[in-house]
A and B are shown apart, each in its own frame.
Chain A
Amino acid sequence: MFKNFVCVLLLSVALLSGCQSTPEVRSEPDYLDELHGAVFDPPRVLSDFSLMSTTGEPFRLSEHRGEALLVYFGYRACPDFCPTTFAELLRVYKALGEPSDRLRVLFVTVDPERDTLENLRLYIESFHQDFIALRDDGEALKQLMAEFGVTAQRRQLGESALSYLIDHTASVFLIGPDGRLQAQYLYGTDYRDIVHDLELILETV
């Protein structure tokens, strides 16, 4: 008899708990609170930028809704931050199983004077053939950098064949499947933190 009592009680409580939980209406993705990167609240709305890419076609943001985008601003001749960051992004991409249909890794050059689309393609594909570089030498690049808060400043070199280096923001930015800027990964972030976040996001894609 006691066993029956417990069964009926548990069943009733289960039914009750099912009834009282009403679906919560949220405008932001649930995973935002769990991200390991620096999270933007609210996620930053970006303009529908369009830059020429190493695929041979313009890359327009609105055509990539439903995908996660990792965006990095750098330049091909960068001796330190850019290659080390992309070595880490390669680890991220491989750790996720190279999900080319749901994740794009983008390199935006801040040195369009020296970085042509052709040498950018050679550069970016040396990391992975799925990675894409974007280039613009006008207002589109300036506006994009302003929206991300990215800075890039030339530093002249005396006798070097490089002529100049560029001091630039070295963060990786995450654009979520909704097309908004959701997180920032500072230089030196462990690649596993980025993998953690992308696994959460790609589950929703």
Chain B
Amino acid sequence: MLAQLRLQSARWYLVLPLALVVLVAGIIVFATVWATVRPAASPSGVMGMAITMASEPYPLTVGNTTLLVSLLDAAGQPVSGAEVSAVARMRREGTLPLAATATSETNGVYRLPLTWPMTGRWDVDITAALPGGETAGERFTLYVYPVPPVNLNARTTFVSASELAARPHDPLQEYRIIIPQGTHAEMISGHGEDLIPEEVHLSLSGQHVLVIQNDDIAHHTVGPFFIRAGETIRQEFRRPALYQGGCSIRHGAEVSIIVDA
């Protein structure tokens, strides 16, 4: 009896750690699987639902076009049987909104014919009434060109509001400049707004990282940086500095980047 007790107490230090390990392993496996498959919070309103949009032609031009809206569920599978519609509003007062509904669907890709009356920047709100009764939505801000432009960006889908929100950004340390599609066209047409001020002020004790993301179909210059279409450039400044140069995202065509101590 005594020997049996001694044997049991001698084994507890083997059994207990193994039990702990099994427990920890279970937690890790669960966490890993959950992180992989869990639906991400989405502005679409439906957990994990991804709404992307392309077009024919891409980018869009004035006249008859077709929006290609793709619906994917949380598992990445195409969603069929939804009712998809679009409302497009131009960012210029006095312009009536446009509406479109899907006329056909293939493998989760919905085709919405839409005729654009005017060149410029538009907000397109997509709404998808899903077969299960839920409704998902997404916003795309895009540019409608007067004629088919030269597209220097390898990307073939529009940037969504969800994508923009999901990009890593630390506003305390980063001064971020996002160059949207159509910026070059707006600048040469004389319309549009300056994306940055004449002087960009950075501070080593605050925003000391400059991030420039070029979503346009054209290359751009911002001071000493040349950013190709689709490219991002990231510069962390470590010393006070002053850089001046040409700028393609300001009507003044020049910018100063000032890094203060």
Task: Given A42-B231, A44-B231, A186-B241, answer yes or no on A2-B13 (Cβ-Cβ < 8 Å).
Answer: yes
> Among residues 225 to 246 in chain B, which have CB atoms less than 8 Å away from a CB atom of chain A?
225-228, 231-236, 238-239, 241, 243, 246
A158-201 contact mask (Cβ, 8 Å, vs B): 1 or 0: 00000000000111000000000000101110100100000000
Q: Which residues of A contact B226 (CB under 8 A)?
A: 148-150
* Most B Cβ at <10 Å: residue of A40, A171, A187: A40
Asked if B234 and A38 make an inter-chain contact with CB atoms under 8 angstroms apart, the answer reads: yes
Nearest A residue to B213, CB-CB: A41
How many chain A residues have a CB neighbour from B under 8 Å? Answer: 32
Q: Is A20 an interface position by the 8 A CB rule?
A: yes
Per-residue contact bits, chain A 30-50, to B (CB 8 Å; 1 contact, 0 not): 000000111111101000000
Write out, one digit per residue, whether chain B residues 144-178 have a CB within 8 A of any chain A CB (1) or not (0): 00000000000000000000000000000000000
Residue A16 at the chain B interface, CB threshold 8 Å: yes
How many of chain B's residues touch chain A, expressed as a range?
20 to 34
Q: Select one of B21, B224, B235, B239 contacting A169, CB under 8 A.
A: B224
A139 → chain B closest CB, angstroms? 19
Q: What is the bound-complex CA distance between A71 and B219, given in angstroms?
A: 21
**A20 with B28: CB separation less than 8 A:** yes
- Cα separation A186 to B225 with both chains bound (whole Å): 9
- A13 and B21 within 8 A (CB): yes
- Chain A residues positioned under 8 Å from B7 (CB to CB): none
| Interface SS, A side | mixed
A44-B214 Cα distance, complex, nearest whole Å: 13
Q: Is the interface of B mostly helix, strand, loop or mixed?
A: mixed
Contact assessment for A8 and B14 in the assembled complex, using a CB-CB cutoff below 8 Å: yes
User: Are A38's CB and B24's CB within 8 A?
Assistant: no
Answer whether residue B94 sits at the interface, using C-beta atoms and an 8 A cutoff.
Answer: no
* Residues B228 and A38 in contact, CB atoms below 8 Å apart: no
Check A149–B235 contact: CB distance below 8 A. no
Bound CA span A38–B225, Å: 9
Query: Is B21 in contact with A16, judged by CB distance below 8 angstroms?
Result: yes
Q: Say yes or no: is B17 at the interface (Cβ < 8 Å to chain A).
A: yes
Least Cβ–Cβ distance between B100 and chain A, in angstroms: 34
Query: Do the beta carbons of B228 and A12 come within 8 Å of each other?
Result: no
Interfacial residues, chain A to chain B (CB-CB below 8 A):
1-2, 4-5, 8-9, 12-13, 15-16, 20, 36-42, 44, 148-151, 169-171, 184, 186-188, 190, 193
Chain B residues packing against A (C-beta within 8 Å): 9-10, 13-14, 16-18, 20-21, 24-25, 28-29, 32, 219, 221, 224-228, 231-236, 238-239, 241, 243, 246
**Contacts A12-B17, A40-B232, A151-B246 supplied; 15 other A-B pairs, CB < 8 Å:** A1-B10, A8-B17, A8-B18, A15-B21, A16-B24, A20-B32, A36-B238, A37-B235, A38-B233, A39-B234, A39-B235, A148-B226, A184-B225, A187-B224, A193-B238
